[in-house]
């Protein structure tokens, strides 16, 4: 068992040595893989960040509760106090019919006309600001239903149209990133497969001789698999570096826009979990590409 | 050690390279495989080493029925057969030492055992001083001896050679053939494909003669042709 591990380690470092001995070729391959992987990674981060903006913007989704017209001042205050106790509610503002009328007069310019009305037709209004933990339209909807269940409430309205639309768009974009990722993953397999294929062809004689003196296919594959694995991993880490660089360049302008909305929003890169996944995917794709490339040659060398 | 029963080989092109071949080599026997060019000598050796598979018939090598040796088992099967090629098939970016070590490395032999066994094999073929030389720095005869050292380094019970003296002059050919004879003397079964009738006569061993894929002569030493 230790002998087996030792041999793997030997091949691993031998491969590492081979790669550093041909730095230009390895770097080119790694760069191509980096760019290929950076594209879906960058788009993924973009979507995640937009998602956070859409839920993070203060005052984006307010719920208007129109109370029944016969609700008096004290009952409205009581209700607003009860709602304030709900965990998912950040603030509640009570606007009496009188205040509403004054506001309406000021904004509409119908001042005198409205004075001729026998009584104030506007209902009492509670404006509820949901807490930030409600970050999906679904959760917001649930809160609205709960508020609507109060007997005093005549109409509960949530201006969610743009949030819903944005979420729909994000959903589409996410699916798009998945499709893009799959096709670019295929591209990485092909890139590494081709690199390894050339390496395999240039060592075809050596491979034939190794087979003739009793080398197993696993023995022959090993250095090539390590090459693909290392190039894939290096490409993935380079992709992460590339994306991080782009994000840091964008951080300034994005911060400025966020400030306009009085939001504390800041762009976020990949966390360590994300980096590990990216590196793992790179390694896997590299391994797969070289496995296919070597497998084809080895298959052609089997006796018929 | 090697037994063929009505073995035929038809290549993909439709050509019958071997037709109904039957013969037997006893353990520790030495034999020559002769015949004109294209008679099927190389093909017969390729069947024994499972580079090609028989189209029909049964072949038993080293107590194993070849049709039962699966793809996965082929490498382990080949470790018991030393093969010497006319074009040497050495790796040009490796020293004589590394070339000879190759069969041991692929078999996972430990480093300290490798050194000892490679030097013993190089010593046997008289090239101990050239262990650091690359193939281009060696003469044809020396390269062929490196090839022989590689073939015998893991002490296989069977040694095959396909025209091992094809590119060498008479004196060198004698030397190489004597080497094979030495290995045979210590119990290795040896089969050599060759055009060189001088060597066949000189050593007086079992002769298998092919003509257009058919066995036309199977004579043990001493028997009258
Ligand atoms: N891979 C192959 N595919 C098709 N035909 C082949 C193949 N290898 C050999 N042959 C044919 O099979 C016949 C026997 O070839 P083989 O190489 O066994 O002859 P040989 O006796 O070794 O000849 P030589 O003395 O020239 O080496 C020849 O006619 C050759 O053209
Ligand atoms: Mg031949």
Q: Rounded to a whole number, what is the distance in Å from the CA of A235 to chain B's nearest CA?
A: 30
Domain boundary among A114, A136, A159: A159
Boundaries of domain holding A23: 2-57+164-300
Structural domains of chain B, with CATH: 2-80+156-223 (3.40.50.300), 90-151 (no CATH)
How would DSSP label each residue in A3-63?
HHHHHHHHHHHHHHHHHHHSHHHHHHHHHHHHHHHHHHHHHHHHHHHHHHHHHHSTTSS-E
Binary contact (B49, A212; C-beta < 8 A): yes
Binary contact (A205, B74; C-beta < 8 A): no
Q: What is the pLDDT of residue A12?
A: 76
Look up residue B137 and give its DSSP letter.
Answer: G
Average pLDDT estimate for A275-284: 95
Distance in Å from the first CA to the final CA of chain A: 34
Contact with chain A for residue B106, Cβ under 8 A: yes
**A126 and A76 Cβ atoms separated by less than 8 Å:** yes
Domain boundary among A141, A159, A177: A159
Higher-pLDDT residue of A264 and B197 is B197
Q: How many CB atoms lie within 10 A of CB B110?
A: 10
CATH number at residue A77: 3.30.70.3040
Nearest CA to ligand 1 atom 30: B38
Based on the domain organization, do A271 and A170 belong to the same domain?
Answer: yes
Q: What is the pLDDT of residue B16?
A: 92
Domain boundary among A159, A175, A206: A159
Average pLDDT estimate for B58-86: 95
C-alpha–C-alpha distance, residues A63 and A140, integer Å: 9
Average pLDDT estimate for A77-94: 86
Based on the domain organization, do A180 and A292 belong to the same domain?
Answer: yes
Q: What is the pLDDT of residue A54?
A: 65
Torsion, Cα B140 B144 B146 B152, to 10 degrees, reads -170
Q: Which atom of ligand 1 is nearest to the CA of B193?
A: 22
Based on the domain organization, do A141 and A87 belong to the same domain?
Answer: yes
> Apex CA A90: angle with CA A87 and CA A93, to 5°?
120
Q: Rounded to a whole number, what is the distance in Å from the CA of B225 to chain A's nearest CA?
A: 36
Q: What is the pLDDT of residue A46?
A: 84
Q: How confident is the model at residue A297 (pLDDT cuts 50, 70, 90)?
A: confident
Q: Is B39 in the pocket of ligand 1 (CB under 6 A)?
A: yes
Tell me which residue in B12, B53, B91 faces A303 most closely, judged by beta carbons.
B53
The share of chain A scoring above pLDDT 70, in percent, equals 91
Which chain A positions have a beta carbon within 8 Å of B89's beta carbon?
Answer: 205, 208-209, 212
Q: In what order do the strands lie in the sheet with B214-219?
A: B81-84, B158-162, B189-193, B30-35, B206-211, B214-219
**pLDDT higher than threshold 60 for residue A56:** no
Q: What is the pLDDT of residue A256?
A: 77
Binary contact (B50, A303; C-beta < 8 A): yes
Range ranked top by mean pLDDT from A182-191, A294-303, B128-137: B128-137
Based on the domain organization, do A24 and A101 belong to the same domain?
Answer: no
Binary contact (A213, B108; C-beta < 8 A): no
Average pLDDT estimate for B143-162: 96
**pLDDT higher than threshold 50 for residue B224:** no
Note the pLDDT tens digit of each residue in A196-242.
898 888 888 899 999 999 999 999 999 999 999 999 999 999 999 99
C-alpha–C-alpha distance, residues A192 and A47, integer Å: 28
> Apex CA B75: angle with CA B166 and CA B33, to 5°?
30
Q: What is the pLDDT of residue B225?
A: 45
- Write out the residues surrounding ion ligand 2, Cβ under 5 A: B 42
**B89 and A213 Cβ atoms separated by less than 8 Å:** no
Which chain A residue's Cα is nearest to B9? Answer: A304
Q: Which atom of ligand 1 is nearest to the CA of B52?
A: 1
Q: Is B43 in the pocket of ligand 1 (CB under 6 A)?
A: yes
Based on the domain organization, do A179 and A104 belong to the same domain?
Answer: no
Based on the domain organization, do A43 and A179 belong to the same domain?
Answer: yes
Q: Is B14 in the pocket of ligand 1 (CB under 6 A)?
A: no
Based on the domain organization, do A84 and A41 belong to the same domain?
Answer: no
Which chain A positions have a beta carbon within 8 Å of B49's beta carbon?
Answer: 212
C-alpha–C-alpha distance, residues A98 and A253, integer Å: 43
Which chain A positions have a beta carbon within 8 Å of B103's beta carbon?
Answer: 213-214
Binary contact (B91, A304; C-beta < 8 A): no
**B83 and B160 Cβ atoms separated by less than 8 Å:** yes
Note the pLDDT tens digit of each residue in A246-257.
988 888 887 777
- Alpha helices per DSSP H over chain B: 41-48, 74-78, 96-106, 111-124, 140-152, 170-185, 197-203
**pLDDT higher than threshold 90 for residue A49:** no
Query: Furthest-apart CA pair in chain B: how many Å?
Result: 51
Domain count of chain A? 2
**pLDDT higher than threshold 60 for residue B223:** no
Q: What is the pLDDT of residue A142?
A: 85
Based on the domain organization, do A228 and A130 belong to the same domain?
Answer: no
Average pLDDT estimate for B111-139: 94
Contact with chain B for residue A304, Cβ under 8 A: yes
Tell me which residue in A211, A213, A216 faces B150 most closely, judged by beta carbons.
A213
Give distance in angstroms: CA of B186 to centre of ligand 2: 27
- CB contact set of B216 (below 8 Å; sequence gap of 6+): B209, B210
Based on the domain organization, do A173 and A281 belong to the same domain?
Answer: yes
Residues 150-209 of A with CB under 8 A from B: 205-206, 208-209
Based on the domain organization, do A52 and A66 belong to the same domain?
Answer: no
Based on the domain organization, do A233 and A281 belong to the same domain?
Answer: yes
Based on the domain organization, do A198 and A229 belong to the same domain?
Answer: yes
Which chain B positions have a beta carbon within 8 Å of A204's beta carbon?
Answer: none
- CB contact set of B134 (below 8 Å; sequence gap of 6+): B92, B93, B94, B95, B96
């Amino acid at each position: 068992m230790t002998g087996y591990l030792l041999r793997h380690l030997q091949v691993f470092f031998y491969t590492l040595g081979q790669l550093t001995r041909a730095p230009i070729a390895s770097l080119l391959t790694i760069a191509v893989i980096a760019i290929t992987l950076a594209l879906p990674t960058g788009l993924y981060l973009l979507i995640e960040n937009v998602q956070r903006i859409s839920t993070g913007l203060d005052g984006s989704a307010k719920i208007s509760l129109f109370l029944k017209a016969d609700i008096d001042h004290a009952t409205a205050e009581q209700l607003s106090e009860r709602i304030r106790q709900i965990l998912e509610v950040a603030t509640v503002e009570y606007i009496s019919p009188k205040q509403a009328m004054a506001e309406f007069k000021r904004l509409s310019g119908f001042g005198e006309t409205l004075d001729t009305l026998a009584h104030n037709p506007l209902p009492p209004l509670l404006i509820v600001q949901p807490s930030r933990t409600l970050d999906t339209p679904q959760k917001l909807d649930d809160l609205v239903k709960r508020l609507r269940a109060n007997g005093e409430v005549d109409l509960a309205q949530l201006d969610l149209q743009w949030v819903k639309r944005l979420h729909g768009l994000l959903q589409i974009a996410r699916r798009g990133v998945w499709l893009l990722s799959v096709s670019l993953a295929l591209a990485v397999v092909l890139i590494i497969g081709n690199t390894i294929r050339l390496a395999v062809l240039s060592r075809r004689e050596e491979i034939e001789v190794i087979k003739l003196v009793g080398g197993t296919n696993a023995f022959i594959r090993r250095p090539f698999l390590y090459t693909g694995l290392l190039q894939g991993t290096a490409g993935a880490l380079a992709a992460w570096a590339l994306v991080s660089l782009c994000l840091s360049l964008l951080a300034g302008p994005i911060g400025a826009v966020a400030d306009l909305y009085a939001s504390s929003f800041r762009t976020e890169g990949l966390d360590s979990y994300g980096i590990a996944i990216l590196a793992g995917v790179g390694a896997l794709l590299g391994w797969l590409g070289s496995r296919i490339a070597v497998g084809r040659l080895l298959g052609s060398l089997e006796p018929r | 050690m090697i037994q063929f029963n009505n073995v035929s080989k038809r290549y993909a092109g439709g050509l019958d390279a071997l037709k109904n071949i039957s013969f037997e080599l006893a353990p520790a026997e030495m034999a020559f495989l002769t015949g004109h060019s294209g008679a099927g000598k190389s093909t017969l050796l390729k069947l024994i080493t499972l580079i090609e598979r028989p189209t029909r018939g049964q072949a038993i090598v080293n107590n194993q029925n070849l049709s039962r040796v699966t793809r996965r088992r082929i490498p382990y099967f080949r470790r018991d057969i030393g093969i010497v090629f006319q074009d040497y098939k050495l790796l040009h970016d490796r020293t004589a030492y590394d070339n000879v070590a190759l069969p041991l490395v692929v078999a996972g032999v430990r480093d300290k055992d490798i050194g000892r066994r490679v030097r013993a094999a190089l010593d046997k073929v008289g090239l101990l001083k050239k262990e650091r030389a690359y193939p281009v720095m060696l003469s044809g005869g020396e390269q062929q001896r490196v090839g022989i050292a590689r073939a015998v380094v893991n002490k296989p019970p069977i040694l095959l050679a396909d025209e091992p003296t094809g590119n060498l002059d008479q004196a060198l050919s004698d030397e190489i053939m004597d080497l094979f004879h030495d290995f045979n003397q210590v119990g290795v079964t040896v089969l050599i494909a060759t055009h060189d009738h001088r060597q066949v006569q000189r050593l007086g061993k079992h002769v298998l003669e092919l003509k257009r894929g058919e066995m036309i002569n199977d004579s043990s030493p001493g028997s009258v042709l």
